[in-house]
Structure 1
C-alpha cells in the first residue's frame, strides 16, 4: 500500500510539473508571438503614418500647382483640334517665355475628353487643370521627380520642394491613430535621422527607419519605445492571467491531494493505533466476564462467592457498555444526529453538580480543588446533559494524566458576551508538537500500542465538537511536566439580567 502511494505521488508530481511546464512554454511562445506582432505592427503603423503625411504634403503642393496653372499671368493654356486625329490637343506654355530658351509648348491630349474644340473655353481649362495635375503632376510628386513642363512651372515646383518640410505634429497624430487601430497605447518618441541608426541611447526598442522626404536626399524617421514589455504584457494579459490561473489550480489540486493522502494515511495509522488499544481494552473485560461466568457455572460456590463473581461481571459489562456508548456518541456527534435539548442553565450550578459527581474519584486520589466563580449568575442556553459530559471529560482527563497529588483550579468568569470556564491541573502536561492534535479523533500522544493510561482518543474530540455545537470553543494551554489548562467558552444567553449567585 505504501509503495502504491509513492507511485501515485510520483505520477502526480510528474503530471503537475508537466502541466506547469507546458503552461510556461505556452506563455513563452505567446510572449514571442506578441513580441513579433508588436514589431510588425509598429513598423506597419509608422510606414502608413509617413505615407499619409507625405500624401498630405503632396496634396498641398498639388493645390499650389493648380493655382499656378489658373494664373494667367504665369502660364497660358490653349487648345486646338488635331486635323488628323480629330481630337482636342491642349498646349501649356509660359506667359513670358525665357528668351534664351527655345521651348515648344507642352502638348497633351486626354482620351476621355470627347469635345472637339478649336479654342480653349473656361470649362475646358478647368478640365485640363484638374486632370493634368491629377494624372501627371501627382505621379511626379509620388516619384519625387521634378519635370519642367514649362520653365516657370519647373522653377516654382523646385522651390515648393525646397520649402516643403515635414510636419512633426501631424506625423505624430497620424502615428498615434495607426497605433490605436492596432490596440497599442505605449508611449513613443519620433526621432528624425539623416542616416539609419542601429539604436538610440535612452531608448530600448526602435522601428525601422522610414523616409519622410518627398525627394532626394532622404530624411529618415524612427519611432522609439522606452519599454515595450509593458505592451507585450498588456496584449498578453488574458493569456498570462489564464495560464497563471491554470498553474495555480494545478498546484492547489496537487497540494490538496497530497494533504488528503497524508491525512488519510495519518487517519489510518490513528485508527490502527485505536484498534490495537481497543483490542486490549476489550480483551480484559471479556476475559474477566468469561472466567467469572465459567467459575459460577462449573464450581459449587457459596452465595457470597457467587455474588462476588456476579459483581465482577456487572462491573466489567458496565465497562464494556461505557466504551460502546462513548464510541456511539462520537459517531453520532460526527454525523450531527445528536439532538441538543437546549435550555437556560446556570454554569455555576452545572460545574458544582459535575464536581459533586466526581467527588469520590477526587477523594480517592486526595485531589485538592479550588474554585474561583464570578459572583454574578452566568446563564447559557445549552443542553445540560451534553455540556455536563464535556465538563466530566475534562475532569476525567485531569484525573487520568495526573502526577503525584492532583491540584485542580476551576475559574468561571464573563468575557465579551461569553462565559469562560478554565480547568487547570498540575498534571503531566502536553508537548507543543501534540497540542494541536489532541482534539483529533483517535489521537493519543504517541507511545506505541501500550498505554499506561486507558483511553480511546475520543474524549477531547467529542468535547470540542459539543462545544462548537453550542456555538463555543474549547482550547488548551499546556507545558510539559507542569500542567494543562483547558478553556471552555460558551455564549451567554441573551437578555439575561446579571444576578448574584445564592450561596
Structure 2
C-alpha cells in the first residue's frame, strides 16, 4: 500500500474516532447534568417536606419556600422554628430513604438570629434501620437540647460532600461505554503506531535488500570478469597483468566474504544465539590491528588518523573478534562518511572502573532529527547528494548489540556537517 493511501486512512480514521469520542464526552456531560438536576430536585423536595413538617408541628407557616441551594452541595432550610435534633435526624433519613438518596451527608442546626452552628452530625450512606430510632447523643451548644424542642428559633442545613461520586455511581452505563470507547481509541493508537513502525521497517528492509544485491553483485561481477580474462587469455597476458587479475579476484573475494559475514552476524544476533568468548583483550592492540585493515583505503584518500591512547589500563575481558568488529565498523563509518580527506581521532582513557574509547571524525555528521534512529537495524543515515557511501544499515545496530552484550554503553555526539563522535564504554570485570 502506498504511503499516500496509508496517510489518508490514518487521517480519516483519526477524525472519525475523534468525532466519536467528542460526541461521547458531550453526552456524558449532558447525562451528568441531568443526574445532578434530578439529585438537586429530590433533595429540594425532601427538605421542603421536612420543613413543612417542622413548621406544622410548631404551628408556623412560611411566606416563601424555605429551602435554598446555596452551592452545588449545600442546601439551607430557613424555617425559623424550634427544631429537635432527634426529630430532624429521623425526618432526613426517612425522606432521603423514600427517594433512594443513598449518599453521605452532614446536617447542622443553625441559630436563626446569627447563623451560628448549635448542632451537627454526619450520616453515612448506608446505616442500619435502628439508627433512625436512636437520638443523636451529642448535646447542642447555646442551650440547645437534643431531647426536646428548644424555645429558640433555628434553621437547618444539609451538605453532601460525596455528591459528585454519588452522581457518577448512578451513571454506570455511561461510564462503561465511555471507558470502552477509550479502550478502542487506545487500541487504535497502538495499532496505528504498529502499522507505521512495520511500514518503516518494511521500507528499510527493502532498501537493505537493494543495497545487499548491489554490494554482493559488484564483487561477483569483478571476480567473473577477472576469471574470464585469466581463462581465455591467461597464456598470452603479461605477468604484471596476470598478477593484477589474481589480486582483483583475491580482493573481491575477501570483500564478498566480509559482506556475507556481516549479514550472518546480524542473523545470529537476531536469533539471540550470540555466544561471547571472553578473554583478556588489550584494547590498544585491537585498535592498532584494526587500523591496518583500513590503512590502504585511508592512504588512497590522503586520510589521517590521530591517536591519543591515554588509558593506563587497557586490558578488558571481552570477545576479541566482536570487539575488533565494533572498532572496525566505527572506523569504517568515519572513513566512508568523510567526503574529503578523512581526519579521524582515536582516543582512550580509563573512566569509572572501565575504559572509554572515543572515535571521532570531521565528516558529514548526523542531524539531531535522525540520531535516535541510527542504532536501528537496516537504518542508513541520509547522505543527500552523496551516493558513494555503501552499506547495509547493519553496522551501528551490530555495534550496539555487542556493547550491550559486554554490559557496556555507546553514545553519539554529532552535529550536521561538523562530524561525529562515538564513545564506547567497557567496564572492567568485577
TM-score strictly above 0.5: yes
1:440 and 2:376 correspond: yes
Residue 374 of structure 1 corresponds to 311
Residue 82 of structure 2 corresponds to 166
* Match among 104, 108, 112 for residue 185 of structure 1: 104
2:338/2:363 contact within 8 Å kept: yes
Distance 2:317 2:92 in 1: 72
Q: 1:492 to 1:175 in 2, by over 3 A?
A: farther
SS at match of 2:196: helix
Bigger shift: 467-476 or 347-356? 347-356
Residue 313 of structure 1 corresponds to 249
Residue 186 of structure 2 corresponds to 252
Residue 392 of structure 1 corresponds to 328
Between structure 1 and structure 2, the one with the greater Rg is: 1
Distance 1:23 1:322 in 2: 60
Residue 17 of structure 2 corresponds to 16
> How far does residue 485 in structure 1 lie from its aligned partner after superposition?
0.7
Distance 2:298 2:46 in 1: 92
- 5+ residue gaps, structure 2, are 60-80, 113-152
1:64-79 pair list within 5 angstroms:
none
1:407 and 2:408 correspond: no
Distance 1:299 1:379 in 2: 53
Cα RMSD between the aligned structures?
3.9
Distance 2:87 2:354 in 1: 74
Distance 2:316 2:391 in 1: 30
> How far does residue 45 in structure 1 lie from its aligned partner after superposition?
4.4
Deviation readout 1:442-481 (Å, 9 max, x if unpaired): 2223257972122222111111122122222212111222
Bigger shift: 443-452 or 314-323? 443-452
> How far does residue 18 in structure 1 lie from its aligned partner after superposition?
5.7
Q: 1:251 to 1:50 in 2, by over 3 A?
A: same
2:109/2:154 contact within 8 Å kept: no
> How far does residue 484 in structure 1 lie from its aligned partner after superposition?
1.2
1:210-359 pair list within 5 angstroms:
231-236=163-168, 239=172, 245-299=179-233, 301-302=235-236, 304=239, 305-359=241-295
> How far does residue 424 in structure 1 lie from its aligned partner after superposition?
1.6
2:357/2:425 contact within 8 Å kept: yes
Q: 1:261 to 1:229 in 2, by over 3 A?
A: farther
* Match among 392, 406, 415 for residue 456 of structure 1: 392
SS at match of 1:474: strand
Deviation readout 1:204-228 (Å, 9 max, x if unpaired): xxxxxxxxxxxxxxx9988576xx7
Deviation readout 1:70-97 (Å, 9 max, x if unpaired): xxxxxxxxxxxxxxxxxxxxxxxxxxxx
